[in-house]
Amino acid sequence: MTEQSIFGEDFVKPEEKQYNTLNLGPTHPATHGVFQNILQMDGEIIISAEPTIGYIHRAFEKLAERRPFYQVTPITDRLNYCSSPINNIGWHLTVEKLLNVSTPKRVDYMRVIIMELARIADHLVCNAVLGVDSGALTGFTYMFQERERIYDLYEEIAGARLTTNIGRVGGFERDFTPRFHEKLKEFLAGFPKRFEEFDSLITRNRIFMDRVVNVGPISAEKALSYSFAGPNLRAAGVDYDVRVMNPYCSYQDFDFMIPVGTHGDTFDRFVVRQNEIRESLKIINQAYNNLPEGNFHADCPEFYLPKKEDVYNSMEALIWHFKIVMGEVDLPAGEVYHSVEGANGELGYYLISDGGRTPYRLHFRRPSFIYYQAYPEMIKGQMLSDAILTLSSMNVIAGELDA
């Protein structure tokens, strides 16, 4: 007697299961930036993912070979555009290392204040947007208002909100104005309370925790092997922070902790970023209260643009300004690698100069590019909505991904 299936001929036997292919395309409301993932799914569970990037490749490295070092600063802005002062100051530190210029203490403390403000701004974006992706839209509205206050502070120094092009080789273009002091004091007085309000809404919220605990985990060994850096690595349990390991800009003078997680899952990344905001506030307070007197720039007239009042009024200053910006001043030959702790981790600049007016080779060590390659492994076996939250919590910035 032949075996008759009781389910009819259309029933798919288990060994003939087919998987769905889903395109999490370059344009998607929840992927913050343009990167594509082609997911193989078994129902709702993800079997494998294949990422494609390069949708915003702007050829920074080739472009930098054409531009004198001051003209490279606006390019570095556009790497991690949520925290552009860190990129600018990192580039200026690299050039200062090559030129062997040492900056006065006041410049270091001013740089620390600006960089920590940028770090707070970037972590606010990441965490607020992670809240939005899990459905909590209120936090976004409130935390973006805080970002507006930080933009106000940048505007006092650099004149621009987002892509700041802040600072010069050797320091800053102007000292902190009295209005900046007022605004910074207001910010430091009011921000902690509002931030704790945001924290109380989300961090211990039952619904949020159910959505993010044990989602997208990665172990510390895997994270080190994938060259993770920044909050993603610290959430996995490794306390590697460039500010502590290779201090630059007088970071050794400040007393701060490095928040570290245990499981490397989305919840740990969120909480590590929240705690890093608190630590950054501590650093800003320490730097601001102990701001030393001194000059706001180093004494290196070959590389530091002259004062704007002189440029507008005296011919020599105008010519000198023109020469430096247009690259008539040569960089000394040499090769240097310098890294700063960006909001996403170790942001490195590898500069090879052949003594000409532009870098011979400039390579950016971009943390988002490096840790995004671990994404398929982090979401394997999870559900689609978990994959979206993992992506948001990793803080992949498209500008830094593709350069």
**Where do contacts with other proteins occur on this chain (CB under 8 A)?**
25-29, 33-34, 53-59, 61-63, 65-66, 74-75, 77-78, 81-82, 97, 125, 140-141, 144-145, 147-148, 151, 161-163, 222, 224-228, 238, 240, 245-246, 334-337, 339, 346, 348, 350, 352, 360-361, 363, 365, 369-370, 372-374, 398-399, 402-403
Find the shortest distance in angstroms from Cβ 392 to other proteins.
14
Return the H-helix or E-strand segment holding 42. strand 36-42
Find the shortest distance in angstroms from Cβ 245 to other proteins.
5
Q: Structure tokens of 99? A: 């030129």
Q: Structure tokens of 80? A: 């991690």
Q: Which is nearer to other proteins, 228 or 267 (by Cβ)? A: 228
Find the shortest distance in angstroms from Cβ 259 to other proteins.
18
d(CA 130, CA 218): 18
Contact 121, 164 (CB under 8 A): no
Find the shortest distance in angstroms from Cβ 7 to other proteins.
37
Return the H-helix or E-strand segment holding 50. strand 45-52
Q: Which is nearer to other proteins, 28 or 380 (by Cβ)? A: 28
Q: Structure tokens of 155? A: 């505007």
Find the shortest distance in angstroms from Cβ 80 to other proteins.
10
Find the shortest distance in angstroms from Cβ 292 to other proteins.
26
Find the shortest distance in angstroms from Cβ 321 to other proteins.
20
Find the shortest distance in angstroms from Cβ 168 to other proteins.
19
Find the shortest distance in angstroms from Cβ 83 to other proteins.
10
Q: Which is nearer to other proteins, 130 or 287 (by Cβ)? A: 130
d(CA 262, CA 165): 37
Q: Which is nearer to other proteins, 296 or 372 (by Cβ)? A: 372
Q: How many helices (H) and strands (E) does the chain have?
A: 17, 6
Q: Which is nearer to other proteins, 299 or 335 (by Cβ)? A: 335
Integer angstrom CA distances of residue 378 from 205, 291, 373: 24, 43, 10
Find the shortest distance in angstroms from Cβ 9 to other proteins.
37
Q: Which is nearer to other proteins, 110 or 370 (by Cβ)? A: 370
Q: Which is nearer to other proteins, 254 or 372 (by Cβ)? A: 372
d(CA 119, CA 222): 26
d(CA 305, CA 31): 41
Q: Which is nearer to other proteins, 247 or 306 (by Cβ)? A: 247
Q: Is the dihedral of CA 155, 250, 182, 311 positive or negative?
A: negative
d(CA 16, CA 43): 14
Please tell me what DSSP assigns to residue 165: -
Q: Which is nearer to other proteins, 279 or 400 (by Cβ)? A: 400
Rounded (10°) angle between helices 137-157 and 105-133: 160
Q: Structure tokens of 206? A: 């039952």
Q: Which is nearer to other proteins, 74 or 192 (by Cβ)? A: 74
Integer angstrom CA distances of residue 72 from 32, 75, 84, 119, 165: 26, 5, 13, 21, 10
- 3-class secondary structure, 189: helix
Strands (E), 234-365: 334-342, 345-353, 361-365
* Residue showing tokens 């370059």: 26
Question: Which amino acid belongs to residue 28?
Answer: H
How would you class 207 by CB atoms within 10 Å of its CB: exposed for 0-12, middle for 13-18, buried for 19 or more?
Answer: exposed
Contact 43, 383 (CB under 8 A): no
Q: Structure tokens of 364? A: 């950016």
Find the shortest distance in angstroms from Cβ 30 to other proteins.
9
